[in-house]
Structure 1
Amino acid sequence: SSCRMGHVVAAHDSAYDVLGVDPDASTDELRHAYQRLARLHHPDRQAAGDAASDEAFQTVQHAYDTLRSPELRRRYDAEARAAELEGAVAAARTLEVDLEEMCYEEGVWRYDCRCGDEFELLEAQLVACIDELQCRSCSLVLRPLYRRTGDDEGVHDCDAACGAHGSRTQGAPL
């Protein structure tokens, strides 16, 4: 991580965050913020071998290079909007389901998908602590919620609509 005016710059910070300006900042505001931070973190003004300051300077330089021209800034903003939209779409395609909500029968946990197909979680997948199951018929992803315990024995009874009853041999619901 790098320092920014006394703050830590995380890898996920935007170029605007690094420079400490709003996304609607003018070109002059961007330039002034860059100049102030470049002077603050410039390697010639730091102790020799100050890796954190060198990294901070490089981060500031990269952020300014990303936003310095209107064309580069438009491209950066468009890519940021697309990434934000993709993240929202991915979240909308993921369903978290507690293991207790799934029906268990003969080593397989099942859960009905919105498309009419079903998710299947095999005991071997449960033991391997898989994170996600992809529906075979649509884009929905199921994230089973469970935790491993020292006592891996448990009983899971499905509701009457499922009709399956059995013992769960691996994992435990959260």
Structure 2
Amino acid sequence: MGVSNAIAFFIVLTAAATLHLHHIDVKTSADAARALELIAGRFAYVLFALGIIGTGVLALPVLAGSAAYAAAGSLRWRSSLALHLTLAREFYAVIALAIGGGVAITFMHFDPIRALYWSAAINGVAAVPIMLIIMLMARSQRVMGEFAVGGVLAWGGWLATLAMALASVGVFVPG
């Protein structure tokens, strides 16, 4: 996970430095494709489309499967891709609904850049109460026993929770 986050960081850093240098502001997916013209020339749109399609092909099954496993775990359904459809109907129904929803979104003409922004914003806002609950539980002797978090680790957790809360507020403050 650390390696993937480092790669993502450097991708964002490189893209920002390159685009800022050429005064390119990316607001839509068409802007992102146009920005690729700097390195890909006339094949920029094809390269961008292949990237979006490739990302979808990689991400959709993972997201659908994780949603199905989360739902099955929460609702105590039978869950395994090794089970036959008749033995785990609900599990496979969630996978089908998630994939169907992803395909439906494709035809609804959402701007992918805006959708990515708002999904990240919603995830960030949702993370704050989750982090708060995790910190309260992690600090609780009753819950964690001898493994309760304290000292520097607790301070770090509370600082991360505060930073996330401030960032969540920042998403909705105009300017």
Normalization by structure 1: what TM-score? 0.26
- Larger helix share, 1 or 2: 2
- Larger strand share, 1 or 2: 1
Q: Which has the larger radius of gyration?
A: 1
Normalization by structure 2: what TM-score? 0.25
